Amino acid sequence: MAGSLGLLPAWARSGTPGAGRARAGSDVLSGETIALEIGATHFATGGRASHAVTVNGTLPAPLLRLREGQTVRIAVTNRLREQSSIHWHGLLVPFHMDGVPGISFPGIDPGETFVYEFPLTHSGTFWYHSHSNMQEAVGLYGPIVIDPLEPDPLGADREHVLVLSDWSPIHPHEQMRRLKMQGGYFNRQKQTLQGLLAGRDQSLSDRLAWAKMRMDATDISDVTGSTYSYLVNGHGHAENWTGLFAPGEKVRLRVINASSMTNFNFRIPGLPLTVVAADGNPVQPVETDEVQIAIAETYDFVVAPGEAQTYGIVAEAIDRSGLVRATLARRAGLVAETPKLRRRPLLTMRDMGMDMSGTEGGADGVIDLSKPAGGTEAHSMKGHSMSMRDPSVAPGVRMGPGVATLSPMPVDRLADRPTGLEDAEHRVLTYADLRASDPNPDPRVPSRRIEVHLTANMERYMWSMDGKAMSENPSPIPFRLGERVRIVLINDTMMPHPIHLHGHFFELVSGEAGHRARKHTVNVLPGGKVSLDLTADGEGDWAFHCHMLLHMHAGMMRVVTVRREQEQPKVEAGGGEVL
Amino acid sequence: MPLIVALALGATSAGVAPQDRDHESHAASAPGDMDHSAHAGHVMQSHAKQDAPSAEPGDAQPPEIPADHPADRYFPPERMAAARAAMIQEMRFRTFALQVDRLEYRTGSAGDGFGWEGQAWYGGDVNRLVVASEGEGTFGERAERIELATYWRHALDPWFNLQLGMRHDFRPDPQRSYALIGIEGLAPYWFELEGQLLVSDKGDAHARARASYQQRITQSLVLEPELEADFALQDVPELNIGAGFERFELGARLRYERNRSLAPYLGVHWERKLGQTARLARRAGESASGVSAVLGFRAMF
């Protein structure tokens, strides 16, 4: 693995004394003028080697350690033979500095240097990545830490930045092609006859009910550990990234999920995690044992390792097809124990958007799906049948081959434990546990409400919003500058989708108003819905998409427009996206 | 009471011109406003059922969808137009694939032979151009069947596709060309089904039906039973076909799928001519049925 070590920036190397104390220089980049060079390289880990796209020759890209209040000038030079770009994920920047080719700017052509310039108006843990040609799947991602103007009240003694990611020798374009040929191509944890005979997984009657609907209860991740190696700061499992601590120290971990297709279950067995920030925004400290970190989310934790020698940091793919272990240690060279991969979870009726009254949390909910639609009125709501594809539940969705199912009764799942952690025996963070430290800046009640359906056909590997893929050039989702709108995301698929809105934070509508968690990315659980309150204060055009890279690429994306109101406000909705 | 306040707030915010709003101005008025709308939400605990949001959004109309592109003000509009087109183009999925469902060696009572079935396609999710071929024969003899079909495959709904095109049979002799219309897809319980109607350039009509199922025994071991039947709507003496069921094929293949892209299998294949077609075969000195052991592979490229 020596070859790959050369690519790692100093802060990401094993045994680093901590990013906060890392030297400034080419590996941790600070100051108001920064130069980044995107180049084609090679990367190998865990026996998996392939072409990579990196920044300044490292994977992950250099840590940008900046300070709130600065105005930074970041010159990005593209040394690839194809176009590239960098998007500053979670930073509130003017839209034309947001880095999405075709929406915010033209992209950076080969040989070209583009100078991004923007003020840093807030602090926290963020990241950056390419928004071109799926380059983020092959290495173009890196962390950003913006230190606050005021001294941080947390007063951690030391901090480490952990960039979680996935690495496959199969190029994402080829992954996509194989998934189009066979939706379950990378799933090697399907239910089998052997499992049935051994009494594992679903019972025969449940299997038949699911088979009748052509739904696979093991369809949790599209691209899995069968091709991925999972990385912490560019280190695979065997390379054991190690972060140091001294006895009695309070250690802050800034954890970023920079994966292209992997949601991670994150835990440090034996060491409670105190969540202090989500998506860069401080939250009221809440202690937990495990957190599912969806793609593109960032969480800051404070841990107190005390007098122990080592702790294992475990990032496990949510379908349990693989994991990566890193170590928190008193000194370099110590290796923490690796827990066994836990058993692969199964999806439940709740993941189909069928909320069974009386079986709330319903992993064991049983319903007779063989009855014809309409024959289960006892379970229906508002007269909707339990049909899995009744267009009346989603009038804004364009039906077609790309929409295999519509959740008949989606429930708000912000207080649910995330996929696969329903039955974990320790504490698991839910979105409802997150309360913002600071009062929400905009207390207005939204003036209107829109729904966006996340739609798919897993067998054909088609992904869309409201049944229309981005490649069909759908109408954008329009907002007035400054208006407050509730966005309801309804997941009509069996897979969680981390949905990201560029250029804004939104509040998760959970619990009392006033201190709701503010995020840039929300993981919408299968068959469920979430409500977000958005103040559309970023004038311009923005991308809005699923951060599962292949889902975005396949079409689960929209352009969001934010415009000053015209003289004569018009009230006509012009497209199918807006309800 | 909170609801009334909420509606009033909603109506107010909908009516106010939104210019020059920013976070700071609202932060100033935050605490007072919040108290009005928060009462309904008191029960919230981490695992409590999600309550109705304490204040419901208003019913303001969405703004008009703008037609401008603000990035054009910062960058050359022609470059932005090209970038927009490129973004859409990049997300438009079109690819080439080659799927060999089976390529096999057969050994049985009627001697050793071979069989194949597969397709290549180019296109996207909804529309594809497919070139499909299947055939079989006995070593040392002229191939019994060589079929090559070309059709437009169009997705009709989430599960089923229309096929529209033609098929040319290089064997048996004399060669025939057929117009082809078919339906293929995935039925409930994961059955893969296909039905085709074929009308030849001589006017004779035939139907073909096919069904298969993938039974996963372990993660790497898959048993695939398959059934295919041909039906003729009339006698076709030149091809030794009698009206009614012509041919029936039943197979079961056990595949080792450690690598989904290249999976070897072994199995049995039973084929039988039926009805008048069988009588014609016997009269020509051929056997009407045969069973063989097969060894082959399935591949995806």
In a domain, A570, yes or no: no
Query: Which CATH number fits the domain that encloses residue B224?
Result: 2.40.160.40
- Residue A305 in this model has a pLDDT that exceeds 60: yes
Residues B38 and B104 placed together within one structural domain of the fold: no
- Residue A358 in this model has a pLDDT that exceeds 90: no
Interface test with B, best of A512, A546, A577 (most B CBs within 10 A): A512
Would the CB atoms of B88 and A471 count as touching at under 8 Å? yes
Residues B32 and B119 placed together within one structural domain of the fold: no
In a domain, B79, yes or no: no
In a domain, B40, yes or no: yes
**Which CA distances in Å does A26 have to A23, A30, B137, B216?**
9, 9, 67, 52
Residues B123 and B53 placed together within one structural domain of the fold: no
- Residue A328 in this model has a pLDDT that exceeds 80: yes
- Residue B53 in this model has a pLDDT that exceeds 80: no
Residues A232-239, mean pLDDT to the nearest whole number: 91
In a domain, A388, yes or no: yes
In a domain, A352, yes or no: yes
Residues B158 and B111 placed together within one structural domain of the fold: yes
- Of B65, B88, B112, the domain-final residue: B65
Chain A contact set for B21 (CB, 8 A): 481-482, 535, 537
Which of these ranges, A490-494, A506-510, B44-48, B77-81, has the smallest mean pLDDT?
A: B44-48
Residues B100 and B187 placed together within one structural domain of the fold: yes
- Which of B6, B41, B62 shows the shortest C-beta gap to A445? B6
Would the CB atoms of A565 and B22 count as touching at under 8 Å? no
Residues B74-89, mean pLDDT to the nearest whole number: 97
- Of A127, A155, A183, the domain-final residue: A155
Q: Between the ranges A22-26, B24-28, B179-183, B236-240, where is the mean pLDDT highest?
A: B179-183
Residues A333-350, mean pLDDT to the nearest whole number: 92
Q: How far apart are CA A36 and CA A54, in angstroms?
A: 10
In a domain, A423, yes or no: yes
Residues B47 and B103 placed together within one structural domain of the fold: no
- Give contacts of A 86-105 with B, CB under 8 A: 95-96, 101-105
Would the CB atoms of B261 and A178 count as touching at under 8 Å? yes
Residues A141-155, mean pLDDT to the nearest whole number: 92
| Average pLDDT value over all residues in chain B | 84
Q: How far apart are CA B270 and CA B249, in angstroms?
A: 6
DSSP letters for A323-334: EEEEEEESSTT-
- Give contacts of A 193-222 with B, CB under 8 A: 193-194, 208, 211-214
In a domain, A247, yes or no: no
- Give contacts of A 557-576 with B, CB under 8 A: 557, 561, 563-566, 569-575
Residues B56 and B103 placed together within one structural domain of the fold: no
A191 touches A211 (CB < 8 A): no
DSSP letters for A370-421: TSPTTTTGGG-STT--S-TT-GGG-TTS--STT-----SB--B-TTSPPTT-
Confidence of residue B34 (pLDDT cuts 50, 70, 90): very low
Residues B50-55, mean pLDDT to the nearest whole number: 52
Q: Choose among A485, A519, A437, A499: nearest CA to A90.
A: A519
Distance from CA of B194 to the nearest CA of A (A): 17
Would the CB atoms of B58 and A106 count as touching at under 8 Å? no
In a domain, B71, yes or no: no
Distance from CA of B143 to the nearest CA of A (A): 30
Structural domain range at position B46: 2-65
- Residue B104 in this model has a pLDDT that exceeds 60: yes
Chain A contact set for B99 (CB, 8 A): 181
Q: How far apart are CA A468 and CA A487, in angstroms?
A: 18
- Of A97, A130, A155, the domain-final residue: A155
| Average pLDDT value over all residues in chain A | 89
pLDDT > 90 in chain A, percent: 81
Side-chain-facing half-sphere of B254: CA atoms under 13 Å: 7
Read off the tokens for A142.
Answer: 């890196």
Would the CB atoms of A106 and B82 count as touching at under 8 Å? yes
Residues B220 and B263 placed together within one structural domain of the fold: yes
Give the pLDDT confidence score for residue A14 in this predicted structure.
63
Chain B contact set for A389 (CB, 8 A): 158
Which of these ranges, A7-21, A286-300, A364-378, has the smallest mean pLDDT?
A: A364-378
In a domain, B29, yes or no: yes
- Residue A369 in this model has a pLDDT that exceeds 50: no
In a domain, B26, yes or no: yes
Provide the domain count of chain B: 2
Give the pLDDT confidence score for residue A356 in this predicted structure.
57
- Which of A415, A574, A578 shows the shortest C-beta gap to B50? A415
Read off the tokens for A53.
Answer: 């796209």
Chain A contact set for B189 (CB, 8 A): 208, 211-212, 214
Provide the domain count of chain A: 2
Degrees (nearest 5) of the Cα angle A561, A563, A569?
120
pLDDT > 70 in chain A, percent: 88
**Cis amide prior to B174 (ω within 30 degrees):** yes
- Of B65, B83, B117, the domain-final residue: B65
- Of A102, A131, A155, the domain-final residue: A155
Residues A514-529, mean pLDDT to the nearest whole number: 97
Structural domain range at position A72: 2-155
Chain A / chain B CB contacts < 8 angstroms: 273
Which carries the bigger pLDDT value, residue A387 or residue A467?
A467
Residues B288 and B165 placed together within one structural domain of the fold: yes
Give the pLDDT confidence score for residue A45 in this predicted structure.
86
Confidence of residue B109 (pLDDT cuts 50, 70, 90): confident
Read off the tokens for B89.
Answer: 């183009």
B115 touches B100 (CB < 8 A): no
In a domain, A575, yes or no: no
A47 and chain B: CB distance < 8 Å anywhere? Answer: no
In a domain, B39, yes or no: yes
Print burial letters for A218-241: b (CB count within 10 Å at least 16), e (below 16): bbbbbbbbbbbbbbbbbbbbebbb
Rg of chain B on CA atoms, in Å: 32
Chain B contact set for A445 (CB, 8 A): 6, 9-10, 13, 37, 55-58
pLDDT digit string, tens, across residues A528-573: 999 999 999 999 999 999 999 999 999 999 999 999 987 544 444 4
- Which of B47, B65, B87 shows the shortest C-beta gap to A476? B65
Query: Which CATH number fits the domain that encloses residue A13?
Result: 2.60.40.420
Give the pLDDT confidence score for residue A240 in this predicted structure.
92
Residues A78-89, mean pLDDT to the nearest whole number: 97
pLDDT digit string, tens, across residues A93-135: 999 999 999 999 999 999 999 999 999 999 999 999 999 999 9
Residues B37-62, mean pLDDT to the nearest whole number: 55
Residues A381-390, mean pLDDT to the nearest whole number: 63
Distance from CA of B50 to the nearest CA of A (A): 6
Give the pLDDT confidence score for residue A352 in this predicted structure.
87
pLDDT > 90 in chain B, percent: 73
Residues B43 and B105 placed together within one structural domain of the fold: no
Q: Choose among A252, A298, A274, A315: nearest CA to A520.
A: A298
Residues B224-239, mean pLDDT to the nearest whole number: 95
Q: Choose among A51, A65, A326, A303: nearest CA to A169.
A: A51
Residues B24 and B137 placed together within one structural domain of the fold: no
In a domain, B168, yes or no: yes
- Residue A272 in this model has a pLDDT that exceeds 50: yes
- Which of B27, B54, B70 shows the shortest C-beta gap to A541? B70
Chain A contact set for B125 (CB, 8 A): 180, 401-402, 460-462
Q: Choose among A218, A234, A297: nearest CA to A62.
A: A234
Distance from CA of B129 to the nearest CA of A (A): 14
Give the pLDDT confidence score for residue A355 in this predicted structure.
66
Residues B101 and B52 placed together within one structural domain of the fold: no
In a domain, B78, yes or no: no
Q: How far apart are CA B164 and CA B180, in angstroms?
A: 6
Would the CB atoms of A541 and B69 count as touching at under 8 Å? yes
Would the CB atoms of B23 and A442 count as touching at under 8 Å? yes
